[in-house]
Amino acid sequence: MDWQAIGLSLRLALATTLVLQVVGMPLAWWIAFSRRRWKFLVEAVVALPLVLPPTVLGFYVLIAIGPHSPVGAVYARITGGLLPFSFAGLLVASVLYSMPFTVQPMVAAFGGVDRKLIEASWCLGVSRGATFRRVVVPLAGQGIATAAILSFAHTVGEFGVVLMVGGNIAGVTRTVSISIYDQTQSLDYAGAWHTSLLLVGFSFVVLALTYSWQRRAWMLWQTH
């Protein structure tokens, strides 16, 4: 079993989830409560990775972070390195790719918070930021957790984007899904079998836990 690839996938998934919590939360907040007319455009852009082939997304990310792009040039000046075929480049791509899995559950959760509660907090003199922290986050906690779990699981399972942006460098960009592809190509069916089974088991356990926990939280709400 390619433990190095498994470790890399977990690291990538964790980093992606953390970045998405920070980036996705304000974005989800804005989508949930903004009254701007062009809001639907932002929603559509965020949802794009759901429908685009990962190769298309990967291709554009590759171009966008390449050394000739503004982003790549700034990155090269600061770090001296290149984004494509690096862990950082992979992280950028993963964040974009898993964005809808963070933003959509959060939008649903924020939208489910009674607006009167937010207004009640404002009228008590509590700032917008503190209201978000003390009222919205606790009440949307389950949606926020769902967002984290789905983003993590989705990143562990990504393949096309990683292959386009990261390539296949052991210990740097070879994630578990790439490793399975390699094993199959080199006719190491036993290795592919084991790694695949591990991934299926992991994904199933994560999803089963998520759903059972949601059901329980729902029932607690019902019975009280």
Nearest approach, Cβ of 128 to other proteins (angstroms)? 8
Helix axis angle, 39-51 to 3-33, nearest 10°? 160
Q: Which of 88, 126, 172, 199 binds other proteins (CB under 8 A)?
A: 126
For residue 63, the Cα-to-chain-centroid distance in whole angstroms is 21
**Which range in 18-26, 132-140, 183-191, 193-201 contacts other proteins by CB under 8 A?**
132-140
Give residues 182-221 in contact with other proteins (rule: CB under 8 A): none
Greatest CA span in the chain, whole angstroms?
67
Per CB under 8 A, 125 contacts other proteins: yes
Return the exposure string of 16-31: e unless at least 16 CB atoms fall within 10 Å of the residue's CB, then b. Answer: bbebbeeebbebbbeb
Nearer to other proteins, 11 or 128 (CB): 128
Of 92 and 140, which CB lies nearer to other proteins in the complex structure?
Answer: 140
**In the set 138, 189, 200, 201, which binds other proteins (CB under 8 A)?**
138
- Asked if 37 is part of the footprint of other proteins (rule: CB under 8 A), the reply reads no
Alpha carbons 143 and 97: distance in angstroms, whole number: 19
- In angstroms, what is the C-alpha Rg of the chain? 20
Query: Where along the sequence are the contacts to other proteins (CB under 8 A)?
Result: 114, 116-117, 119-127, 134-135, 138-139, 224
